[in-house]
Amino acid sequence: MAFLVAGTLQVASQMADARQSLERKGKYGLQGPRVALILSSPGVLDSTVAVLEGVFRSLGFESCQKREASLQGFLGELAGFREQLDALGGPVGCALVALVAPRGQLRQPQQLVWELNRCRALWGCPKVFLLLSTTPGAAPEPGAFLTGLSQLCGRFPHWSLLQLLTEVFYRTAKESEASYCPVLRSSLRGALCLGDVEPWEPQPEPSLSTHYELSGTRAALLLSVIRGRPGAQHDVEALGGLCQALNFKTTLRTDPTAQAFQEEMAQFREGLDARRVPVSCALVALMAHGGPQGQLLGADGQEVQPEALVQELSRCRALWGCPKIFLLQACRGGQRDAGVGPTALPWFRRWLQASPTTPSHADILQIYADAQGRSSGGPTPGSSDQADILMVYAAAEGCVAYRDDEKGSDFIQTLVEVLRAYPGGELLELLTEVNRRVCELEVLGPDGQRRRKACLEIRSSLRRRLCLQAGLCPLPFRGC
């Protein structure tokens, strides 16, 4: 019995240390072993697997399991990997999984992601998924993405993984002459530094060529349904004030119908293309009720697909090569997340000085890339017309986005708070900090007295670092 209590206290202490580290410095503590797995379908080149092994070693993963399986067997292999980790009997510092398959065949990667996300040993720990597509008959040499990732992991181990990926995206786009760009999806709650270095050492600065140049006009479009959404007006006021402080010329439309969402976006694009002065950045906020499949609902109750609005702006000639930021404050389904983590007695919870649960969708990073670095046909997540886009969802896929009648939404209000405090920070880092703060909140939802958790989803194909106000105070955890 004493052994069980001691073991429980040890695990809880490790989780508390990791959580306090995340809160203090805005980064993951990475206590526990790092585990890695490469799953490849038959026909994947040995050279691709060899480069991945080198990347994993550069990131501090001493051992890496390699398995070849059919696409139908990926789920079973991940289930076995999950069971293996849970059998360790303690927390794992980080998991890194590479899934390699021919282009277009890995059609439901989320099912694979959720299989590993069920792992109890990884509660509150970062889980990184590298989803690589390959082209049959392509040259055996790895493309710009894998080459750049391999080089940078060894040269700049101090950088956070999001910083490394942004630099890799830049190099990939440069080598492919902007015909191709990888994409990442993140619900990380802090900076993830995997290099085997002391976290307090100084961090090298990226080249200035990898920053977006923002000397031109900045334009913002705020589309918000106010009717039937108590507290939404607070979000409009807060976001409008932030845009003004960041020098965005802002257009506001309230209570748009579904058709008006599309018309306003088209007019916004046409207005930017008609400008005689250069445009350097666009910000679009879409705030409304959401449908069961992530649709936006206009003031008339009709649906509009947010992807169609993104595609409309990506056609803007004035914004080619410029960052396009989308903020989506809307439900993406009806799931209410109670969070995951160990159960604990009240005194134990007070001893931890924090909620023992984290959102079940948190701490996941997915990277979609092509092993050969080639563009694919059509508007796929890695094609050039989807580059330079940053999308931030207030809720994870399938989940409810919360809004307070008196204060506004957790996402928008926290976003404004962080950007006003650190206007000179790199935007992906700032958004990770926003997610950390949102994940700490506990919401008493309308479905009863049970507390609920929320988590953002950040999607980025940015090819440069994005700082909305240069030369001002960076985030305190920047040097990781």
Collapsed DSSP state (helix, strand, coil) of residue 102: strand
Given 64, 125, 153, 289, which residue is catalytic? 289
DSSP state of 476: T
How far is the C-alpha of 200 from the C-alpha of 478, rounded, in Å? 10
How far is the C-alpha of 401 from the C-alpha of 393, rounded, in Å? 9
Structure tokens at 130: 């590298």
Q: In this structure, are residues 358 and 340 in contact, taking their beta carbons and an 8 Å threshold?
A: yes
State the residue for tokens 């900090």. 433
State the residue for tokens 């940015």. 462
Collapsed DSSP state (helix, strand, coil) of residue 67: strand
How many CB atoms lie under 10 A from the CB of residue 383? 17
Structure tokens at 464: 């440069």
Q: In this structure, are residues 261 and 325 in contact, taking their beta carbons and an 8 Å threshold?
A: no
Backbone φ/ψ region at 161: left (φ over 0), alpha (ψ -120 to 50), beta: alpha
Query: DSSP strand E in 14-110: where?
Result: 34-40, 65-68, 94-102
Q: Identity (one letter) of the amino acid at 267?
A: Q
Q: In this structure, are residues 160 and 153 in contact, taking their beta carbons and an 8 Å threshold?
A: no
Given 331, 399, 455, 467, which residue is catalytic? 331
How far is the C-alpha of 93 from the C-alpha of 123, rounded, in Å? 10
Examine the residue annotation and report whether 289 is marked as an active-site residue of this protein: yes
First to last CA, the chain: 40
User: What residue spans of 126-160 are helical by DSSP H?
Assistant: 144-155
Structure tokens at 356: 């023992």
Quick one: how far is CA 174 from the chain centroid? 23
The C-alpha R_g of the chain, in whole angstroms, comes to 22
Give, in degrees to the nearest 5, the angle at Cα 216 between 213 and 220: 105
Q: Identity (one letter) of the amino acid at 391?
A: M
Examine the residue annotation and report whether 211 is marked as an active-site residue of this protein: no
Strand partners, 133: 101, 370
User: What residue spans of 246-305 are helical by DSSP H?
Assistant: 258-274
Q: What is the dihedral of CA 236, 292, 436, 453, to 10 degrees?
A: 110
How far is the C-alpha of 144 from the C-alpha of 463, rounded, in Å? 13
DSSP state of 199: T
- Residues marked active site are found at 289, 331
